[in-house]
Amino acid sequence: MTERILLAHGDGGVLSHQLITGVFHKYLGNNQLNQLNDAAIVKSEHGSLAITTDSFVVKPVFFPGGNIGKLAVVGTVNDLAVVGAVPKYLTAGFIIEEGMLISQLEEIVKTMAATAHEAGVQVIAGDTKVVERGSADLVYINTTGIGFVPEGRNLAYSRIEAGNVIIINGSIGDHGLTIMSQRAGLEFITSLKSDCAPLNMQIEVLLQEFGDDIKFMRDPTRGGVATTIKEIATASGYDMLLAEDNLPINEVVAGMADMLGLDPLYLANEGKFLMIANKIAAKKIVEKINKFPGCSKAAIIGDVKTGKGNVFLKTAFGGTKILDLLVGEPLPRIC
Amino acid sequence: MTERILLAHGDGGVLSHQLITGVFHKYLGNNQLNQLNDAAIVKSEHGSLAITTDSFVVKPVFFPGGNIGKLAVVGTVNDLAVVGAVPKYLTAGFIIEEGMLISQLEEIVKTMAATAHEAGVQVIAGDTKVVERGSADLVYINTTGIGFVPEGRNLAYSRIEAGNVIIINGSIGDHGLTIMSQRAGLEFITSLKSDCAPLNMQIEVLLQEFGDDIKFMRDPTRGGVATTIKEIATASGYDMLLAEDNLPINEVVAGMADMLGLDPLYLANEGKFLMIANKIAAKKIVEKINKFPGCSKAAIIGDVKTGKGNVFLKTAFGGTKILDLLVGEPLPRIC
């Protein structure tokens, strides 16, 4: 490990993994924490609780399609939803930089309230800290989410099998590219906007309709689709084969990513889930998703094969590329 | 309200209250959030869950008696304990400044693990973000705590009655003054150290032994004993009468507070609880507390009277002073 923290320790890629296992798991490790799921599930006499936490440091705080407050609700709600939980409660911890306009804070809190309402969750506990000018960047928000997992529901790496397929519920890279474009001063491209949206209502409908045909889900946020699929491959021990031709990418995202030298497969998404499902049900699942309001680009993007936890991309030109965790140029403060 | 966020919006005093009601409750308000308890209690088909969240931005990060990691565990565990819950799970969200020494982070995480072990809680979910140099001050930690409230246990403002007494489990002002002394460059006073410690084991013993004789508890952190008592007085509608002569204050704290112009009644504590209890049981409760290892200064410090939510301090010179929420000079980043 390096001697000091680098920006890349926070980008969800290789160095993040090293930090998590080398420092956090080393001391705090336990069955829950070590599973590296989007949310921990604890079984108690009170039923199965799903619990997840995320701090949001996105820069800029306001961006097309949302703001840090919307992201803070959506990110945590989605982490609960992909483990099969029904999100119920949120906590919100604010670290505010001295000098922030109260009208900006109000705008953010207002958006949080609207998004929480949309997702059907309540913010039941909060905290506010203020730090001196220059000791934060406007505002950071932590949200922790608590949900309940209905009895009999079990989405787990161990349920993944060879022959399953990989589904995504829409286009990739929109959130990450929106943020990077803003930072590159390209905000005049108005058609580009973050996909950030709560997914729990959609996911609940799918789980109720397709039940055990759905094996596992994750939301491809930091590190993007490639990193998330690689994590699933590593944890399950299966190979994953993605077909580049099948990846839904908006035209403006593809063009802009090319211009900025970014690969959409490694760009964060905030309104997307990856689903491993039985092949036999996959077409119906995709059709169902594409009937949800605003959805039309859900697709089967790959296959699960017997293997050693590798991820391969069949490129549009007919070649095959190995995909690994995000490494190299960090994309800091994307969420 | 002011146009911009001031440091005092984070000090737990008057401006903090204005921000909470004027912005957070305005949009996010609900029965739980509006109660302003240390932890929210939600009753579900799964039993009574207590949930609390806190971000820690203490400066300096390392101080005599602890570090930000110890504080992050203790602060959240204690918020659960004072509402009568048995703390069970913690989440931990780190916002780290680029360039932090990994050895420092490791020291902090190690302390968190030891403190969590002492308190009997598990860290089950975590998150790490890294921000650029100058966009944070070394490290900020959010912890959210989840606990279960045993059936039949009910600590509430509504249980407070005239004739009850106010108990504290030890000396006041130690944490706040330790931090302020460090910042004033007075760290050579080696006998001064933070009182930060998990209280849940002590509190559980007391609740089991004294049951309904214990009416209500809070931990007097930001804003200190005076602000917390004022909050209890306001919420319950009773007057609270404190006797200055009975306040346990360590000699070094008294002397140093005087030198720095700080009032120990408004200094943060991180290993103390205030308890409203039946007068008849109070002496036994204090005796019991003083038998806990390291405790010897628990005391009855005041009385609950019929009134209008005011707090009075009977001073050592025989006068009477009204105590209000912390106002004026902010004491930023004390926790």
- Indicate whether B134 and B257 sit together in one domain: no
Cα distance between residue B273 and residue B199, in whole Å: 8
Please indicate whether, in this complex, the C-beta atoms of B131 and A332 are within 8 angstroms of each other: yes
B17 inside domain: no
Is there a domain that residue B210 lies in?
yes
Q: Does B124 touch chain A (CB under 8 A)?
A: yes
Of B153, B122, B172, nearest to B217 by C-alpha is: B153
Closest CA to A108 of A55, A53, A71, A137: A71
A88 vs B contacts (CB less than 8 Å): 44
Contact in structure between B153 and B207 (CB atoms under 8 Å): yes
Is residue A89 exposed (0-12), middle (13-18) or buried (19+ Cβ within 10 Å)?
Answer: buried
Q: What angle do CA A123, B78, A131 make, to 5 degrees?
A: 65
Q: Are strands B40-44 and B47-56 parallel, antiparallel or unpaired?
A: antiparallel
Of residues A189 and A284, more confidence is placed in A284
Tokens of B325: 């929420």
Q: Do A106 and B27 touch (CB under 8 A)?
A: yes
Whether residue A213 sits in one domain with residue A253: yes
Tell me which residue has tokens 């605003």: A294
Residue B274 and residue B83 in contact, taking contact as beta carbons nearer than 8 Å: no
Strand-strand pairing, A311-314 and A239-243:
parallel
Task: Give the per-residue pLDDT at A38.
Answer: 82
Contact assignment for A2 to B102 by CB distance below 8 Å: yes
In angstroms, the separation between the Cα of residue A63 and the nearest Cα of chain B is: 18
Closest-CA residue of A relative to B102 is: A4
Are A5 and B102 in contact (CB < 8 Å)? yes
B157's torsion region: left (phi>0), alpha (psi -120 to 50) or beta? alpha
Q: What is the pLDDT of residue B330?
A: 67
Q: Tell me what the pLDDT averaged over chain A comes to.
A: 94
Q: Across residues A247-260, what is the average pLDDT?
A: 93
- Looking at the structure, tell me whether residues A143 and A186 fall in a common domain: no
Q: Residues B287, B291, B294, B295: what is their CA dihedral angle, to the nearest 10 degrees?
A: -10
- The CA-based diameter of chain B, rounded to the nearest angstrom, is 57
Q: Classify residue A26: in a domain, yes or no.
A: no
* Size (chain A), residues: 335
Give B169 to chain A, closest Cα distance, Å. 25
A residues 248-287 lying closer than 8 A (beta carbon) to B: none
Q: Kindly state whether residues B167 and B143 are assigned to the same domain.
A: no
The reply to whether residue B27 touches residue A127, judged by beta carbons under 8 angstroms, is no
Cβ of A287: how many Cβ atoms within 10 Å? 10
Query: Is pLDDT of A329 > 70?
Result: no
Sign, CA torsion B93/B95/B98/B103: negative
**Is B132 a member of any domain?**
yes
Which pLDDT does position A35 carry in this prediction? 79
- Based on the fold, state whether residues A142 and A257 are members of the same structural domain: no
A151 touches chain B (CB under 8 A): no
Q: Are β-strands A320-323 and B299-305 bridged in parallel, bridged antiparallel, or unpaired?
A: unpaired
Interface check for B23 against chain A (CB to CB < 8 A): the answer is yes
Residues A194 and A314 grouped into a single domain: yes
The enclosing domain of B276 has a CATH number of 3.90.650.10
Let me know whether B175 and B268 are in one domain. yes
Both A164 and A300 in one domain: the answer is yes
The complex's ipTM works out to: 0.95
Which residues in chain A have their CB less than 8 angstroms from residue B124's CB? 30, 32-33, 40, 42, 51
Q: Is residue B16 part of a domain?
A: no
| CA dist., res. B173 & res. B248, Å (int) | 10
pLDDT < 70: residue spans in chain B: 46, 189-190, 328-330
- Cβ distance of B122 and A30 shorter than 8 Å: yes
Scanning the structure block, which residue is given the tokens 């959010």?
B142
Find the closest chain A residue to B54 by CA distance: A127
B22 part of a folded domain: no
* A196 has a chain B CB within 8 A of its CB: no
Q: Please tell me if residue B308 touches chain A, with a CB cutoff of 8 Å.
A: no
Query: Distance from B237 to chain A by nearest Cα, in Å?
Result: 23
Candidates A93, A124, A131; nearest CB to B51: A124
Query: Could you tell me where the DSSP H helices lie in A57-166?
Result: 68-81, 102-119
Structure-token match 């803070």, residue found: A72
What distance in Å separates the CA atoms of residue B269 and residue B218, rounded to the nearest whole number? Answer: 11
- A190 at the B interface (CB within 8 A)? no
Q: Looking at the structure, tell me whether residues B204 and B317 fall in a common domain.
A: yes
* Residue A4 touches chain B, beta carbons under 8 Å: yes
Q: Tell me which of A115, A149, A183 is where a domain ends.
A: A149
Q: Which token pair is A255?
A: 């063009």
The size of the A-B interface in CB pairs under 8 A is 276
Are A202 and A54 found together in one domain? no
**B130 lies within 8 A of chain A by CB:** yes
| Residue B20, in any domain of the structure | no
Q: Which of A121, A149, A177 is the last residue of a domain?
A: A149
The CATH number linked to A119 is 3.30.1330.10
Q: Residue B324, CB half-sphere, CA atoms under 13 Å: how many?
A: 6
Contact status, residue A33 vs residue B128, Cβ threshold 8 Å = no
Cα–Cα distance measured from residue A112 to residue A117, given in angstroms and rounded to the nearest whole number: 8
Q: Are residues A228 and A264 in the same domain?
A: yes
Q: Does B306 touch chain A (CB under 8 A)?
A: no
N-terminal to C-terminal alpha carbon distance within chain A: 24
For A34-69, write each residue's pLDDT tens digit.
Answer: 877 888 988 877 679 999 999 999 999 999 999 999
Range of the domain at A93: 37-149
Q: What is the number of domains present in chain A?
A: 2
Contact A216, A157 (CB under 8 A): yes
Last residue of a domain, one of A122, A149, A176: A149
A117-174 pLDDT, tens digit each: 999 999 999 999 999 999 999 999 999 999 999 999 999 999 999 999 999 999 999 9
Please name the residue ranges forming H helices in chain B.
14-19, 25-28, 31-34, 68-81, 102-119, 174-183, 200-210, 224-236, 251-260, 279-291
Scored b (16 or more CB within 10 A) or e, B127-159 reads bbbbbeeebbbbbbbbbbbbbbbeeebebebee
Q: Rounded to 5 degrees, what are φ and ψ at B138?
A: 75, -75
Of A26, A128, A332, the CB nearest to B132: A332
Q: Give me the residues paired with residue B239 across strands.
A: B305
Chain B, 67-106: which have a CB under 8 Å from a chain A CB?
88-89, 91-103, 105-106
CB < 8 Å to A125, chain B: 32-33, 39-40, 51-53, 144
Whether B331 contacts chain A with CB within 8 A: no
The answer to whether the CB atoms of A57 and B9 lie below 8 A apart is no
Contacts of B6 in chain A (CB under 8 A): 98, 130
C-alpha to C-alpha distance for B13 and B268, rounded to whole angstroms: 12
DSSP H/E element including A139? strand A139-149
* Distance of alpha carbon B47 from alpha carbon A45, whole angstroms: 9
Asked if A4 and B99 come within 8 Å (Cβ–Cβ), the reply is yes
Q: Are B109 and A23 in contact, with CB atoms under 8 Å apart? A: yes
Helix (H) or strand (E) holding B265: none
**Within a domain: residue A302?**
yes
Does residue A94 have a pLDDT over 90?
Answer: yes
Q: Which class for B287: exposed (0-12), middle (13-18), buried (19 or more C-beta within 10 A)?
A: exposed
Looking at the structure, tell me whether residues B171 and B315 fall in a common domain. Answer: yes
pLDDT score, position A46? 66
